[in-house]
Amino acid sequence: MRSYHRAMQTVADDLAIKWEKNPDVDVHGDMTAATLEIIGRAGFSTPMGLLGDHEAAPEGTDEFVAALSRVLAWASESTNDLPIVGPLRAAFAAPGIRRDVNYVRGFVDSIIERRQKDGSAQNNDLLGLMLTTRDPETGQLLPVDNVRDQVLTFLAAGHETTAALLEVALYHLATDPRIGDLIVAEELSGNRVLDYDEVVRLRRIRALINECLRLYPPAPGFFRIARSDQELGGYLVPAGRAVFVLSLAAQRDPAAWGSDAGEFRADRFLNTRLTASSPEFFAPWGTGPRSCIGRQFAIHETTLLIGSVLSQFRLTVNKPFELRLRERATLRPEPFRIVATPRGRA
């Protein structure tokens, strides 16, 4: 994670420059941009041109973001389709979705081609490692179309989820600015540039992030398939049957979390170390060997971004409003705006 820190910091800086110029913040747009920039710059040494002034950005990023969002929404909606409706809808949507899939693939292909042409494929970032590391048994490189699909997986799995988490955190910070004031007083003391070790020590922000993940898990659940017949809560789950673990409900269960389970109270995570045997269910990253591979990446980037933003801005809203969520590829807040006033002027 240390090697990604610098690239993440450049995105936090670009965000602050943008907010200094215009305090009326479109949270959805800026968090989409920030999370895609972070994966692009940290994982693939490729500024995406969504934040900051980057001439080196690939062409067509805006269309890439729009096409990727349509593909993810379509994939998510089609998992709920009824037997007859599903194939019909798929048939109507097919040409548009195929065009979008081809567009996002072509966009990533151009990033890879550029790396191969300019000789920087040797870079030790994620993309460089995938392009140059040989299979220890066969000596083969990963086929390029496989590398492209891995890059797309990271871009897709990594940006919507993280943007959703940041949006929930910004909502709570802006609707109750005392939360941010306390974090600044206790942990940030006017720091603008946070180094790697400082980010790791921001325990109040980590608690805030956990509380956001508990009440609003961006991936609201995950599937598991029974390998053998199992009894679960008095029900027989036969071998081969899929079960959806709904973290969203289990993480709000008053029987485990107490009578204030539905309230946003980040302090509950300050002195609690949850383990697998704790009565409280907390699995926003999934569980076991297939749990989220980007977990540490997401924790570091969100802690850094929130820390950087809070040390420079006091966040508020013009008028109180309820957070509304919509279920797409992730459980993500509806777009909303906040006001970011530089702390010196707040």
Q: Provide the binding-site residues for ligand HEM, judged by CB under 6 A.
A: 39, 153-154, 157-158, 161-162, 165, 218-219, 222, 284-287, 290-294, 297-298
Judged by beta carbon, residue 39 or residue 184, the one nearer ligand HEM is 39
Residue 153 or residue 272: which is nearer to ligand HEM going by CB?
Answer: 153
Q: Which is nearer to ligand HEM, 216 or 313 (CB)?
A: 216
Using DSSP's 3-state secondary structure scheme, residue 261 falls into: coil
- Residue 149, classified by CB atoms within 10 Å of its CB into exposed (0-12), middle (13-18) or buried (19+), is middle
- Give 180 or 284: the residue with its C-beta nearer to ligand HEM: 284
Residues 6 or more apart whose CB falls under 8 angstroms from that of 292 comprise 157, 219, 285, 286, 298
Matching residue, tokens 């990604």: 4
Spatial CA neighbour of 250 closest among 270, 221, 277, 224? 221
CB of 191 to ligand HEM, least distance (A): 24
Could you give the CA distance from residue 323 to residue 40 in angstroms, rounded to a whole number?
A: 29
Burial code of 321-345, b = ≥16 C-beta within 10 A, e = fewer?
A: eeeebeebbbbbbeebebbbeebee
Taking the complex as a whole, the smallest distance from the CB of residue 209 to ligand HEM amounts, in Å, to 8
CB of 164 to ligand HEM, least distance (A): 7
Residue appearing with tokens 């204030």 = 260
Based on CB atoms, which residue is closest to ligand HEM, 184 or 305? 305
Q: Residue 296 CB, nearest distance to ligand HEM (Å)?
A: 9
Q: Which two tokens stand for residue 149?
A: 């699909």
Shortest distance in whole angstroms from residue 61 CB to ligand HEM: 18
